[in-house]
Structure formats: structure tokens, C-alpha cells
Structure 1
Amino acid sequence: MIFAEIELKGAFTIDLEEKHDHRGFFARTFCAKEFEQHGLKPVVAQCNLSFNYKKGTLRGMHYQIPPAGETKLVRCTKGAIYDVIIDMRPDSPTFLQHFGVELTADNHRALYIPEMFAHGYQALTDEAEVVYQVGEFYTPGYERGLRYDDPFFNIQWPLEVTEISEKDTNWPLLRMMSVGGELSQIS
């Protein structure tokens, strides 16, 4: 695996080291030792599969607060997505900054997301399929979210949002969160 730390400290893109022969190729997609060597948390508590019928579908922006903070390793296994993360760690030099990357079945790239990063993605193709390994169990009482269209972040989604859950349209704007004291709960 080829680990490349992005501008948000602790988050990495991970590309495959493909070993090709006449049959195709072989590549390792996860190795606890290699993750530890890069200072990443190699715990996998759950593996999830998300399938999206239509391009333009958006899921996110979700995260869990401690003690149920979760890491994620996200990979698109069919079609393509635009994946976005936001650093929600108050003590981080990149607090409230975001990063986006295209993950596709063809590029085989994965995104490692540390704890306390909001995460969401938009399907760029019909029938986009996403697999992600999560380092903590889903714990509804610790779940938080941000609006995908919050003007504070000004995320440039590649497509018009055509499908989104009611829950994801109802997350508060960051300004509303800070007024209501929510940001004090993320530390």
C-alpha cells in the first residue's frame, strides 16, 4: 500500500501496490502492521456497504464524538464518488478545514479518516457502491452531523444533489451549532 498524508493531519489517501501477472493483479487493501507504522489506528469494529441508485445522491456529513469516535477506511468498489472530510478536532491546526477526493472502482484509492472528522460523499455515477471499515461501533447517542451545504464550509460538490436523506438535510448549520453550544461537546 502507498500511504500519502493529505493536508489535514492524520488523514491519508491509500493507493494499492498492484502485483500484475497474466491473470490480473493482486493487492493488499489493509494491513494492521502497515497502518500502525504510519501512526494510524488499525481497529476494525464494523464493515459497511453503501449502494446508491442514482448519481447525485449525497450521504453525510457524519461523525461520532468520544468516547465513540470512529476511524473510517473508505473505498469505492463500483462506479465513482466524491468523498469529503472535515476536521472537527478543536485542538487541530486544520480545525474546520475540509478536503475532497475522487474515489473510483478504477483508481482503487481509499481514504483513511481519523476520529473526529465529519465524513460524507456524493455518488458521481449511477449504482455507486462504497465499502468502509469503521473503527468503532455505531453509537446513535454520540452521532453528530453537519449540513452538506453549510455556507461556512462552502464545499464544492461536483454535481447537483438529487437524492439526500431527511436526516442529512436537517443537521444544523455550524453557526447554529456554536450558538447552541454544540461545538463545546465535540472536544
Structure 2
Amino acid sequence: MKFTETKLKDAFIIDIERLSDHRGFFARTYCAEEFQEHGLKPVVAQCNMSFNYKRGTLRGMHYQAYPATEAKLVRCIRGAIYDVIIDMRPNSPTYLQHIGVELTAENRRALYVPDMFAHGYQALTDDSEVVYQVTEFYTPGVERGLRYDDPTFEIEWPEPVSEISEKDMNWPLLEKTTVGA
């Protein structure tokens, strides 16, 4: 695997390294030892999947606060998504900064989302499918979120939002949020 650190401290884009022959190719998509060597959490507590019927569907911006912060390894296995993460760690040099990365079934790229990063994505194709490896169990009492259109972040989503859950539409703006509380 090829680990490329993003401009956000501790967040990585992970590309596969293909071993190809006449049958196709083989590639490792996860290795606990390699994750540990790069300072990433190697624990996998849950694996999750989401499917989106329509292009423009938006999910996020979600994170879990202490004591159940979670890191994620996100990969699009069908179609394409625009994946966005925001550093919500108050003591981080990249606090409140964000990046967006296009993850597609074709590029087979993954995004490592560290603890205390808000995460969300927009489907760029109909019938997109996403898988997540998560380092902590889902814990409803510490679930947090931010509005996808919060003016603090000025996220430029590539498509108009066609579908969004009521819950995601009603997350508070950052100015009305206590980070980590």
C-alpha cells in the first residue's frame, strides 16, 4: 500500500499497489502492521456499508466524541463519491481545516479518517456503495455532527444535494456546538 499524508495532520490517502498478471491483479487493502508503522490505529471494531440510490445524496458530517472516538478507513467499491473530512481536534495544528477526496470504484483509493474528524460524503453517481472499517463501536451517546453547509467551513460540494436525512440536515452549525462535549 502507498500512504500519502494529506494537508490535515494524521489523515492519509491510501492507494493499493497492484500485483498484476494475465488473470487480473491482487492488492492488499489493509495491514495492521503497515497502519501501525504510519502511526494509524490498526484496530477494526466494526465494518459498515452504505448504499446510495441517487447521485447528489449527501451523508454527514459525523464523528464520535470522547470516550468513544473512532477512526475510519473509507473506500468506495461501486460508483464514485466525494469524501470530506474536517479536523475537530482543538489542539491540532489543522483544527477546523478540511479536505475533499474523490474515491471511486475505479481508482480503488481509500481515505484514513483519524479520531475526532467529522466525516461525510456526497454520491457522484447513482447506485454508489461505500465500505468503512471503524476502530470503535457505534456509541449513540457520543455521536456528534455538523451541518454539511456550515459557512465556517465553506465546503464546495461538487453536486447539488438531491437527498439528505433529516438528522444530517439538522446538525447544528459549529458556532452552536461544543466540540468533544
Specify the TM-score bucket, using the shorter chain as the normaliser: over 0.9
CA distance in 2, matches of 1:172, 1:114: 22
Cα root mean square deviation, aligned: 0.7
CA distance in 1, matches of 2:30, 2:179: 33
Q: Which residue of 1 aligns with 2:19?
A: 19
Query: Offset of 1:115 from its aligned partner?
Result: 0.2
Q: Which residue of 2 aligns with 1:147?
A: 147
CA distance in 2, matches of 1:17, 1:183: 37
Q: Residue 168 in 1 paired to residue 164 in 2?
A: no
CA distance in 2, matches of 1:176, 1:120: 19
Tell whether the 8 Å contact from 2:65 to 2:180 is kept in structure 1 after alignment.
Answer: no
Amino acid at match of 1:92: S
Amino acid at match of 1:124: L
Q: What whole-Å deviation, never above 9, does each CA across 1:48-102 have from its counterpart, x for those lacking one?
A: 0100000000000000001100000000000000000000000001100001000
Please, what TM-score do these two structures have when normalized by structure 2?
0.99
**For 1:29, what is the secondary structure of its paired residue?**
coil
Structure 1 segment 30-179 matched on structure 2, within 5 A: 30-177=30-177
CA distance in 2, matches of 1:65, 1:184: 5
CA distance in 2, matches of 1:29, 1:184: 31
Query: Offset of 1:176 from its aligned partner?
Result: 1.9
Q: 1:48 to 1:184 in 2, by over 3 A?
A: closer
The alignment-based identity, stated in percent, is 74
**For 1:125, what is the secondary structure of its paired residue?**
coil
Amino acid at match of 1:139: T
CA distance in 2, matches of 1:38, 1:146: 28
CA distance in 1, matches of 2:176, 2:92: 21
Query: Offset of 1:184 from its aligned partner?
Result: 6.3
Query: Offset of 1:124 from its aligned partner?
Result: 0.1
Amino acid at match of 1:155: I
Query: Offset of 1:118 from its aligned partner?
Result: 0.2
Q: Residue 4 in 1 paired to residue 4 in 2?
A: yes
Q: Which runs of 5+ in 2 are unaligned?
A: none
**For 1:107, what is the secondary structure of its paired residue?**
coil
Q: Which runs of 5+ in 1 are unaligned?
A: none
Which aligned segments of 4 or more residues in structure 1 are displaced greater than 6 angstroms?
Answer: none
Query: Offset of 1:183 from its aligned partner?
Result: 2.9
CA distance in 2, matches of 1:114, 1:150: 21
CA distance in 1, matches of 2:6, 2:180: 26
CA distance in 2, matches of 1:98, 1:184: 17
Q: 1:18 to 1:151 in 2, by over 3 A?
A: same
